[in-house]
Amino acid sequence: MRILRRKRKPLEIDDINIIDEQKSIQAIKAAALGNAIEWFDFGVYGYVAYVLGKVFFPNASPSVQMIAALATFSVPFIFRPLGGIVFGRMGDKYGRQKVLATTIILMTLSTFAIGLIPSFDTIGIWAPILLLIVKIIQGFSVGGEYAGAAIFVAEYSPDRKRGFMGSWLDFGSIAGFVLGAATVSAISNILGETQFAEWGWRIPFFIALPLGLVGLYLRHALEETPTYQQYNAQQNNAQKNSTPQQQSEKPNTFGTILSKYKRSLLVCIGIVVTTNVTYYMLLTYLPSYFTHNLGYAENHGVLIIIAVMLGMLFMQPTIGWLSDRLGRRPFIFMGSASLLVLSYPAFLLLKTDVIPYIFLGLCILALSLNMLIGVMASILPALFPTNIRYSALGIAFNISVVVAGLTPTVTATLVESTQNLMMPAYYLMIVGLLGLVTAYYLKETANKPLAGSVPMATSPEEAEELLEALHDNIEQKIEDLDQQILQLQEKRQKLADQHPKID
């Protein structure tokens, strides 16, 4: 039986979204600030892990205290996929803006609550239990945060600037981490180590509240993304013209997403694992590695890492801008290759106890990370169509982050059990190999519309250029298909010539 398909209406100039530049900037600010709060907590937690170990696990040895504190950091990552599933489904059904307003409330309150938890000496075993509960709530809310923020920025970005605009999302991550680390360092220096360990460590967590209120205000003031608005309008029109049976059809499940977008899911997982293992190794584990394993003074490595992170802030938008011109794949290739080849030399430099060499080693690792995070936020949303973008990305991203989030705990355990200080380097080398494989299978997304979406431009003139480029691309694809058909016809004829009964 032949299935008749209705001819699709050709894409015209009026179909292209013209993005208001001011609204794009507001979207970036709102998304980046939420990401900054998430990484502000990570920065603070990483730098006060040794204190939290004493406050919440006072009866353990120093090594076990640090591992326990880092484990409390890692365990909530197990709950991130649940948050990704819940918030992803909500984001695809009700819109991105509403979900992001919800996640920033939960994230802010849970970070603030850490500073309120009494010590083990005050309430006993309930202290670490409450810490774990708060971190689980935080993990659940963060499960919908990064994926939603990346989608929000991508759906507000014109095709030719998506790399640059997406790079500001992780600019917020680095800025939040630097702010968290700098806050801990400043308060520790002002109060002294004794008072900081007694009560001063709580202050950085309290600072998350005013930051979160600003972020909530920015997100609440934003409109829904143009891409989702257009998709929602199309769905409403389709709903009016659909039959009751079509209206009762169930939404896409993870099983159907997996069957239709397996390659995209695997590429997403590969990129996120490679990037976030490097992220957590450099930003969360290394502070404890410097003080506990290398025996450096607390501020010895902290100040150097902060200086390197400040350099990363400038590199981040630069790489995003370059990716709009050179493509995203080259940076995934280069960042992964750098991890594979240069991680070992970098950690040799970190062990020298010579500040210039330590700085150089950190710069090598930071540049590797920059090349990955500079393009991640612009790649991931482009892998999936609008109707399942939040659900698919929320699940794939957070499953990957579960693996990456174990990095501080696993690395600390490996170093303690083997007494081999180069274990972090080996860990990163394996991850670099994974990144190279992922880059090989990644299709280029630069300067192209999001999957299943119309092109987006900043002006009518740019819209005309995009439409012309799109038509040229379609013509080229048709020519390629015609060439393939011709080759197949020639191949068929050769086979037919060998058979007496086939023309």
Q: Which regions in the chain score pLDDT beneath 50?
A: 1-6, 246-249
Q: Residue 202 domain-assigned?
A: yes
421 and 385 inside one domain: yes
Query: 408 and 484: one domain?
Result: no
In this structure, the dihedral spanned by the alpha carbons of residues 18, 461, 456 and 12, taken in order and rounded to 10 degrees, is: 90
Q: Is residue 4 part of a domain?
A: no
Residue 167 lies in a domain: yes
Instruction: Verify that 408 and 468 share a domain, yes or no.
Output: no
Please give the C-alpha separations between residue 460 and each of 22, 70, 451, 454, in angstroms, as whole numbers.
Answer: 16, 52, 22, 14
Q: Which amino acid is at 16?
A: I
Q: Are 402 and 432 members of one domain? A: yes
DSSP secondary structure string for all residues of 380-435 = GGGGS-GGGHHHHHHHHHHHHHHHHHTHHHHHHHHHHHH--TTHHHHHHHHHHHHH
Based on the fold, state whether residues 303 and 403 are members of the same structural domain: yes
The structure tokens listed for 320 are: 């995003």
Q: Is residue 234 part of a domain?
A: no
Whether residues 160 and 61 share a domain: the answer is yes
pLDDT of residue 252: 57
Residues 481, 416 within the same domain: no
CA-based nearest residue to 373, from 320, 410, 294: 320
Specify if 233 maps to a domain. no
pLDDT tens per residue, range 112-155:
898 898 888 888 888 888 888 888 888 888 888 888 889 989 99
Q: What are the pLDDT digits (tens) for 331-352?
A: 999 999 999 999 999 999 998 8
Give the residues across from 456 on adjacent strands.
17
- C-alpha to C-alpha distance for 135 and 140, rounded to whole angstroms: 9
Which CATH number does the domain housing residue 344 bear? 1.20.1250.20
Strand 456-457 relative to strand 17-18: parallel, antiparallel, unpaired?
parallel
Residue 16 CA neighbour count, 13 Å, CB half? 25
Domain assignment present for 2: no
Same domain assignment for residues 351 and 467: no
Question: In this structure, is residue 46 part of a structural domain?
Answer: yes
| Count: domains in the chain | 2
Domain shared by 420 and 490, yes or no: no
Within-domain flag for 386: yes
Q: What is the pLDDT of residue 376?
A: 94
Structural domain boundaries enclosing 483: 462-503
Query: Are 432 and 406 found together in one domain?
Result: yes
